[in-house]
Amino acid sequence: MHGPHDGGPNELLKGGGASAEPPPWYGAGCSHVWLPYTQMKTSAPPLPVVRTQGSRIELADGRELIDGVASWWTACHGYNHPHIRAALARQLEILPHVMLGGLLHEQAARLAARLAALLPGDLDRVFFSDSGSVAVEVAMKMAVQYWINSGVRGRKKFVAFRGGYHGDTTGTMAVCDPDEGMHRLFKGLLPEQIIADLPRDETSSDALDRLLAERGDEIAGILVEPLVQGAGGMLFHDAAVLARLRAAADRSGILLIFDEIFTGFGRTGAMVACDSAATGGAGVVPDIVTLGKALTAGTLPLAATVASKKVFDAFWSDDPMHALMHGPTFMGNALACAAANASLDLFEREPRLDQVRAIEAHLTTALAPCRGLPGVVDVRVRGAIGVVELDRIDIAALKARFVQEGVYVRPFGRIVYLTPAFTIGEADLARLTGAIVKVLSTR
Ligand SMILES: *Cc1c(COP(=O)(O)O)cnc(C)c1O
């Protein structure tokens, strides 16, 4: 295997076909594992992975794939980063986990303080959980209980947006895009929420204003992925949309929740999308933020819901029923918090955001040739996110082609996209973009 910065095209597919037999663990376990969003009968079987390093995934037969996805956008410093590995090894010796029920440890305390310092405004109270979906559930409970604790009745609904994705649990599915989120399939199970169009123009802004004027007093919060709607299709919007949402929320006294589980930790070019730099200095500060995915740089499950002073103050009371009624067993897991702290060290010590800018420049140039290809509807790039949108797509065929090209790229919906590690080497990035241009030219 190679370090994050070396390894060129010639070293790819080394030892390809060295061993055609899958390893014994694969044969023994494959028929017992249920994979995510997968038709188990018809889908290609999963690739057996034996090792990761930098931006490379090594398969059991010795082939190496260049990773274009960074394991669902999490592995921002590449795999097996030595600084994170060392922090985890140290933490494993001292204190792998204690519950946060009545106890606190150094890693959670340090991480909470660092997240508070990193976020704008007075977003400074951190509630830890173990997955992004749960962090969003917590944000929604926080918002509903904020109103109850404030003595306001009837504010239990959320406004969320078409194209949005906020998780797979029951509460969060209901605030996903109605089609992508499979509202129909789970009708009767899901609470009914209000799904609107993002206020991108005058028509959609007026529609949102009317909605809030009519139903504002039922609404606890407005929930949005700032700047990029990720799993709903990698759809971009600009900071003006966020400023409109902030203004609309303020007019109706509604809480504004930014789901930064995808956008957080550098992906769009700023540490968080609600950073004033990312929003063109507009300074759009939400009342609650959710973080996850790259929080531990793709090593361990951890998520966080961060509340502003105003929100936290509604829970600060002599009444025990005003406490936030949530508490995941593994919240604030010390190993996960140690990984997150080590990841933040790397953001401080190494020029990650410059690397994101370099990736953005590379993606912009290298994906541009896709524009002219038949069936390509749009090519868009923001930060370390490159997207080619097609009019229709044979996902299974494309996935197989990409593996043949020595890259791991997972199209979904009607898009082919790249969200590489920020540490990816120039040559590997060129292999990824080259593979996309080649595969889309010859499909
Ligand atoms: C991935 C994601 C989630 C859900 O996180 P999980 O860890 O998969 O539960 C929620 N919101 C956004 C914006 C995401 O990208």
Q: Do 87 and 110 have their domain in common?
A: yes
Q: Do 61 and 141 have their domain in common?
A: no
User: Considering 299, 328, 349, which residue would you say is the last residue of a domain?
Assistant: 349
pLDDT higher than 60, residue 15: no
Q: Which atom of ligand 1 is nearest to the CA of 230?
A: 15
pLDDT interval class at 443 (50, 70, 90): confident
Q: Do 15 and 95 have their domain in common?
A: no
Cβ-based burial of 423 (10 A; exposed 0-12, middle 13-18, buried ≥19): buried
Nearest CA to ligand 1 atom 8: 132
Q: What percent of the chain has pLDDT over 70?
A: 94
Q: Do 192 and 227 have their domain in common?
A: yes
Rounding to the nearest 10 degrees, give the CA dihedral for residues 55, 57, 58, 59.
Answer: -160
Domain that includes residue 71, residue range: 9-77+351-441
37 is catalytic: yes
pLDDT interval class at 281 (50, 70, 90): low
Nearest CA to ligand 1 atom 15: 262
Within 10 angstroms of residue 114's Cβ, the number of other Cβ atoms is 17
pLDDT tens digit string along 114-150? Answer: 999 999 999 999 999 999 999 999 999 999 999 999 9
122 is catalytic: no
156 is catalytic: no
Q: Which atom of ligand 1 is nearest to the CA of 225?
A: 13
Q: How far is the CA of 300 from the centre of ligand 1 (A)?
A: 14
Q: Which atom of ligand 1 is nearest to the CA of 229?
A: 13
Q: Report the amino acid identity of residue 417.
A: Y
Confidence at residue 374, expressed as pLDDT on a 0 to 100 scale: 94
pLDDT tens digit string along 348-360? Answer: 999 999 999 999 9
- Of 140, 166, 173, 290, the residue with max ligand 1 atoms within 8 A of its CB, to mutate for a pocket test, comes to 166
Average predicted confidence (pLDDT) for the chain: 94
Q: Which atom of ligand 1 is nearest to the CA of 301?
A: 7
165 is catalytic: yes
Q: Do 264 and 366 have their domain in common?
A: no
Q: Do 63 and 86 have their domain in common?
A: no
Q: Do 216 and 99 have their domain in common?
A: yes
Nearest CA to ligand 1 atom 7: 132
In a domain, 3, yes or no: no
| DSSP 8-state symbol, 109 | H
Q: CATH no. for residue 393?
A: 3.90.1150.10
Q: Is 354 helix (H, G, I), strand (E, B) or coil?
A: helix
User: Considering 290, 317, 349, which residue would you say is the last residue of a domain?
Assistant: 349
> How is 135-198 classified by DSSP, letter by letter?
HHHHHHHHHHHHHHHTT--S--EEEEETT----SSHHHHTTS-TTTTTTTTTTTTSPP-EEE--
Mean of the pLDDT values across residues 280-301? 91
Confidence at residue 5, expressed as pLDDT on a 0 to 100 scale: 39
Mean of the pLDDT values across residues 31-41? 95
Q: Do 241 and 264 have their domain in common?
A: yes
> Do 173 and 133 form a contact (C-beta atoms < 8 A)?
no
Q: Do 318 and 429 have their domain in common?
A: no
In a domain, 4, yes or no: no
Q: Do 280 and 426 have their domain in common?
A: no
pLDDT tens digit string along 70-118? Answer: 999 999 999 999 999 999 999 999 999 999 999 999 999 999 999 999 9
pTM of the model: 0.95
pLDDT tens digit string along 219-233? Answer: 999 999 999 999 999
- Of 37, 69, 138, 293, the residue with max ligand 1 atoms within 8 A of its CB, to mutate for a pocket test, comes to 293
Q: How far is the CA of 79 from the centre of ligand 1 (A)?
A: 20
Q: Is 416 helix (H, G, I), strand (E, B) or coil?
A: strand
pLDDT tens digit string along 152-167? Answer: 999 999 999 999 999 9
In a domain, 2, yes or no: no
In a domain, 123, yes or no: yes
- Of 165, 265, 302, 330, the residue with max ligand 1 atoms within 8 A of its CB, to mutate for a pocket test, comes to 165
Out of 37, 41, 187, 319, the active site residue is 37
Give me the residues paired with residue 407 across strands. 66
pLDDT tens digit string along 166-206? Answer: 999 999 999 999 987 778 889 899 999 999 999 999 999 99
Q: How far is the CA of 18 from the centre of ligand 1 (A)?
A: 37
* Residue whose structure tokens are 């694969």: 26
Out of 67, 293, 399, 428, the active site residue is 293
In a domain, 272, yes or no: yes
Out of 61, 130, 259, 275, the active site residue is 259
Relative to beta strand 235-236, strand 228-229 is antiparallel
Q: Do 217 and 131 have their domain in common?
A: yes
Least-confidence region, from 50-64, 277-291, 331-345, 362-376? 277-291
pLDDT higher than 80, residue 418: yes
> How is 170-184 classified by DSSP, letter by letter?
HHHHTTS-TTTTTTT
Mean of the pLDDT values across residues 46-65? 98
Q: CATH no. for residue 214?
A: 3.40.640.10
Which residues have CB under 6 Å of ligand 1? Answer: 131-133, 136, 165-167, 225, 230-231, 259, 261-262, 292-293
In a domain, 1, yes or no: no
Confidence at residue 282, expressed as pLDDT on a 0 to 100 scale: 57
In a domain, 391, yes or no: yes
Q: Do 270 and 380 have their domain in common?
A: no
pLDDT higher than 70, residue 9: no
Confidence at residue 182, expressed as pLDDT on a 0 to 100 scale: 78
Give me the residues paired with residue 157 across strands. 219
Q: How far is the CA of 131 from the centre of ligand 1 (A)?
A: 7
Confidence at residue 8, expressed as pLDDT on a 0 to 100 scale: 38
Q: How far is the CA of 311 from the centre of ligand 1 (A)?
A: 22
Out of 79, 146, 165, 408, the active site residue is 165
Q: What percent of the chain has pLDDT over 90?
A: 91
Q: How far is the CA of 232 from the centre of ligand 1 (A)?
A: 11
Confidence at residue 279, expressed as pLDDT on a 0 to 100 scale: 62
In a domain, 151, yes or no: yes
**Considering its fold, how many domains does the chain have in total?**
2
User: Considering 349, 378, 402, which residue would you say is the last residue of a domain?
Assistant: 349
pLDDT interval class at 12 (50, 70, 90): very low
